[in-house]
Amino acid sequence: MISIKSISVARDTNNVIKGFNAEFKAGTVTAIIGPNGCGKSTLLLAMAGDLPIASGEILFNGTEVGKFTALELAKLRSVVLQQPIFYLAFTVHEVMQMARLAGSTPASESQALADLEIRDLTERKVTELSGGEKQRVAIALSLSIDAPVLLLDEPFAAQDVESTERVIKLLQKAAKNGKTIILVAHLPESELGWCDQIIKDF
């Protein structure tokens, strides 16, 4: 699904990632781990098409990520950022509706809300939610799009044990349905046994 061929990515003038290669197959979960500042989030953003790469290429089914339009990319990969931003006090339902352009439907919306067990938050304002709840809204937003690739930056950071297990099960289920899942994690390797591939040292 995704091939990374010898990419280098620069941020603030120094190369964070140099000559990195990787393959991500459909139907698998990959965890990217490593110490703070090693470029995990940078790698994820580059794969999302959000950062220009200095050299090399990132291919989605053989096509360079930069060749897609914003809308094509939105339907191809969905992204969960480490800290979701909500500047305005929209309700959770209003936020979920914002993914319609990328292909979400009322049915996929309510399925995603049910999967994350946040149906009771539907009419709450996103600005008034806790950090963990905001993150679950962001995950639901991404899942409602039903893109073949799912990129998540520390999806467990603000979650309790129960919620972490629920998200892990969801990701495994999505992978079983053929999605390519890549996540940046701050968990020890011993707790990532459920992933199909672990990337460190890059």
Partner 1 sequence: MHKRSLFFAANLLVLIGAIAIAISVGASQIDDLVSGLLHPSANTAASEILWQIRIPRIATALIIGAALGVAGAIAQGATSNPLAEPTILGTSAGAALAVVVGVLANFITIGSVGAMAVATFGALLATLLTFRFATLSRQVSPLNLIIIGLSISATISAVVGILTTAVTRADARSISFWNFGSLALTNSSDILPLFVFTALGISIAITVAAKLDVLSLGDLTAKHLGIDPRRVRLISLVALSLLIGAAVSTVGTIAFLGLAVPHIVRLISGPKHRQLVVQSALLGATVLLVADTLARTIAKPNELNVGLFTALIGAPVLALLVRNRKSSWSQS
d(C-alpha 79, C-alpha 163), whole Å: 19
Q: Does the protein bind partner 1 through residue 85 (CB under 8 A)?
A: yes
The span from the CA of 151 to the CA of 9, in Å, is: 18
Binder to partner 1 among 22, 44, 48, 116 (CB under 8 A)?
A: 48
Instruction: Report, in Å, the least distance between residue 70 CB and partner 1.
Output: 5
34, two tokens: 């490593």
Kindly state the DSSP code that residue 183 receives in the 8-state scheme. E
53 near partner 1 (CB under 8 A): no
Report if residue 9 touches partner 1, rule: CB under 8 A: no
Q: Is 44 in the site for partner 1 (CB under 8 A)?
A: no
Nearer to partner 1, 91 or 197 (CB): 91
Range 11-19, long-range pairs (CB < 8 A, 24+ positions): 11/39, 11/42, 11/51, 15/54, 16/42, 17/42, 17/43, 17/46, 17/202, 19/56
Reading the block at residue 69, the tokens are: 């339009």
Site string for partner 1, 141-180 (x = CB under 8 A): xx--x-----------------------------------
Residues of this chain that bind partner 1 (CB under 8 A): 45, 48, 50, 70-71, 73-75, 77-79, 81, 84-90, 94-95, 98-99, 101-102, 125, 127, 138, 141-142, 145
